[in-house]
Amino acid sequence: MGENCCGEVKAGAGVCELNLEVGLKQGQKRAACPECGTPGKPVQRLTVQALLGVSLAEMQEGEYGFCRTAGCRVVYFLADGEQVFTQDQVRERVFQKATELEDTPVCYCFQYTVGEVRNRGKVILEEINAGIQAGKCACELRNPQGSCCLGNVREMVKSRGKTKQ
Ligand SMILES: [Zn+2]
């Protein structure tokens, strides 16, 4: 075992899709985004720390949620609604906020964009799966939603499949 200050981080441990509900304890309600009112998805502090483009000194105590509403500028919000971080305070363009743009990332680990997934989604799905199998993904550190992109990619491929000639 080597030196690793982040020993807790199981990046690419092959549990990609299992940590979707991380942070939500039993009986805990999903906090709603203070701006759009939609219940957000709890994210690990680590994800917020990794993705913020502003000083981490600004982070407060408490649980953060992720807002996936397309038209809402909020990306992360404190569960008590006292603080929000918006798209311009986050390092990455958030997939859910800009799905219409070709160069918006879908997979932040292996760097596939909306345009690429539209063009060769099925192949990309396989490539992402292979990357996950090989333990190369780090969704909680790279994807603003704090979990694996596979669901988003699958959804795009599915809806694409219906309209493809
Ligand atoms: Zn919102």
- Answer for the pair 85, 52: CB distance below 8 angstroms, yes or no: yes
Contact status, residue 14 vs residue 148, Cβ threshold 8 Å = no
**Res. 88: pLDDT tops 80:** yes
Give the mean pLDDT of 133-160. Answer: 95
Residue with tokens 């509403």: 69
User: Rounded mean pLDDT of the chain?
Assistant: 87
Q: Which residues contact 125 (CB under 8 A, 6 or more apart)?
A: 150, 153, 154, 157
Q: What is the CATH number of domain 23-89?
A: 2.20.25.270
pLDDT at 86 over 50: yes
Determine the distance separating the centroid of ligand 1 and the alpha carbon of 127, expressed in angstroms. Answer: 32
State the pLDDT confidence band at 160, using cuts at 50, 70 and 90: confident
Range of weakest confidence among 2-6, 55-59, 121-125, 155-159: 2-6
What is residue 7's predicted lDDT score, i.e. its pLDDT? 39
Region 85-109 average pLDDT: 97
Q: If you measure from the C-alpha of residue 39 to the centroid of ligand 1, how many angstroms do you get, rounded to a whole number?
A: 8
Work out the pLDDT band at 30, boundaries 50, 70, 90: confident
C-alpha–C-alpha distance, residues 116 and 157, integer Å: 11
Regarding predicted confidence, which is higher, 5 or 121? Answer: 121
Task: Please compute the mean of the pLDDT values over residues 130-147 and round it to a whole number.
Answer: 97
| Per-residue pLDDT at 16 | 56
Q: Are strands 105-107 and 112-113 parallel, antiparallel or unpaired?
A: antiparallel
Q: Hey, which bits of the chain come out as E strands?
A: 41-43, 64-66, 74-78, 84-86, 105-107, 112-113
Q: Which residues surround ligand 1, an ion (CB under 5 A)?
A: 33, 35-36, 67, 69, 72, 74
For residue 97, the CA-to-ligand 1 centroid distance in Å is: 10
Quote the ligand 1 centre to 77 CA distance (angstroms): 8
What are the boundaries of each domain within the chain? 23-89, 95-163
Residue 28, pLDDT score: 62
Calpha distance 110→77 (Å, rounded)? 27
Higher pLDDT among residues 3 and 32, named by residue: 32
pLDDT at 157 over 70: yes
pLDDT at position 26:
58
User: 109 CB contacts (<8 Å, ≥6 apart)?
Assistant: 12, 128, 131, 136, 137, 138, 139, 142, 143, 149
Q: Residue 162: its pLDDT value, please?
A: 66
Compute the 3-state secondary structure of the chain and give helix, strand, coil in percent, each to the nearest 5.
Answer: 35, 15, 50
Q: Name the phi and psi angles at 26, rounded to 5.
A: -55, 130
